[in-house]
Structure 1
Amino acid sequence: MTQPILKSHQLAKRFGQFQALSDVTLTVNPGEVFGFIGPNGAGKSTTIRILLGLIRATGGSATIFGHDVWRDSVAIHQRLAYVPGDVYLWPNLTGGETIDLLLKLNGNAHTTRTDHLIQQFGLDPTKKARTYSKGNRQKVALIAAFSQDADFYIFDEPTSGLDPLNERLFQAAVLKLKAQGKAVLLSSHILSEVERMCDRIAIIREGRIIETGTLAQMRHLTRTEITVTTHRPLAPHQLTGVHAVQAGPQPNQWQFSVDASALASVMTQLSAAGVVALQSTPPTLEDLFMHYYGKE
């Protein structure tokens, strides 16, 4: 059985009287893109800083490649690439010089792959870093990360400041890493990005992991949207598990949402009324996210 790249168990972190993390248990496997989502202040970046060995946990344990993240951080970083959400560069170096330096610090070299990434992301490598916008600073870090042949990639809000075209380039590059059997931990607030790329997702709230699994496994927590037109009159208000019923513009047309547990019985009732047209929309990651945070 393949061993996880990342494994954390009941990770905890306290800053004075503030409990930033209480129980963070995660696993990331080879060839997996793992999404890590939650609002600002939920504990995503604190978790990542612990995994990188930048701060020490006050409880629990975490290993990457089987090595303790605090004690063996130097050995871990030799096989790891990381991009933060706010990239700070040496102001007097050009973008190209910065990329080369970042690669050299990790024992890598500038290759044709690096040149291809610079061209893809539309970066001018001759400009000084102090002239770069936030988006261009992100590009420098992403190009350096994707130029490396790492075993584990950690991205913490990596597309902050990028335009939609470069976001798509980032997504394509991540999916290419996945196809090569690399492991990726992606922290993002762009739910469509996570939904498009991630195999599994963990939702963190107030320092605790409250749900982990594939999107398909989590969809039981939300409702499916149904638009249906039937031959015979239908009274969806009377069906168990049906919510937010609205009459459509056509005769015998209705729009409503259905609990996952009631979906089979509702479909049976619709069939009995003679379905003319039916459209169902499964819940999205945003629906799932709002299931936990919408009431705040």
Structure 2
Amino acid sequence: MMKEKFKEHKKLYIPISIIVVLAICAVVGYTAKVKYDQKQEKIRAERIETKNKEISKTYKSFEKEEDRTKKLEILKSFEKEYSQYKKSGSVDEICEKEYANKIKSMKNFFVKDYDDTVSTISDEIGKDINSFNDKDKLSSYVKTLTELKDRIKTESENYNIVDKDKLEEYNNTIDKNIKSYNDRLEAIKKKEKEDAEKKKAEEEAKAKKAAEEAAKAQQQSSTTSSDSYVNNGSSSYDYSYDNSGNYNYDYSGENYNYSNGNNNYSGDSSSNGSSNSYYPSDNWTQGWGSEANGSWIRDNNTGNIYDGDTGNYVGNIKDWL
């Protein structure tokens, strides 16, 4: 009976031992795996930290750089590095996201510059472009936007700043603004030309009117001078003529003697003030010939004509008829 019981216990002991051994192995194996995983996680964490520090260092150098071309080169080199990283055998999702975020931030620097240039010009012009009249600024805006359009195209082709759809959107917006500014420029120039032509016409009309008035005044002055002697200011004269044909008169201290017919007339006259006309007598006429200062005096009663400067008899009006 004892042997049989021992055999039964022995049969039970062996499976239990195996189970215990297996359990111990499982525990040991699990512990080893945990330690291995922990070690691998630590290695991975260190790798991520190192890579992120590299990414951060590159991004900081991009931010500090002030030269636009050098910034673009940093971006280009960084994108190439990211592409190689994705092809490597040890890609960490965290690092991959960090690469993508920093590249996006770099590109946004240039995109923001594009947007700010367009919006700043739009803000300076205001909502109503028809009230904006500065030609020089409009010309500079057209030049700036033209250069911006070329820059966006070049940088997108060489550095992949924006995709094709965004590039087309920029082109449409810039072209629309340039056309609007050019149209306003032409409208201002047209208005200035019309104003200049109007002003010129007014000045010419004014000058023509002044010339006509001056000519009219000159003509009136010439007519008056040919018909009478105009005395301005204060003056006096005495005159007389007798039957022996001598005509004498004194005007402002100057003596004139003319040989006349059989008339005898003497008198004294004076004038003070504004323009007055006089002839030696009612029967005498004074006039001017073709010479610059030549003058003559005619006796209306006899028709005798005398030289206005010398007083010499020059003929009778009847001899010339």
TM-score range (shorter-chain normalised) is under 0.3
Structure with more of its chain in strand, by fraction: 1
Structure with more of its chain in helix, by fraction: 2
Greater RCO (Cα-Cα under 8 Å, separation 6 or more): 1
TM-score, with length taken from structure 1: 0.21
TM-score, with length taken from structure 2: 0.19
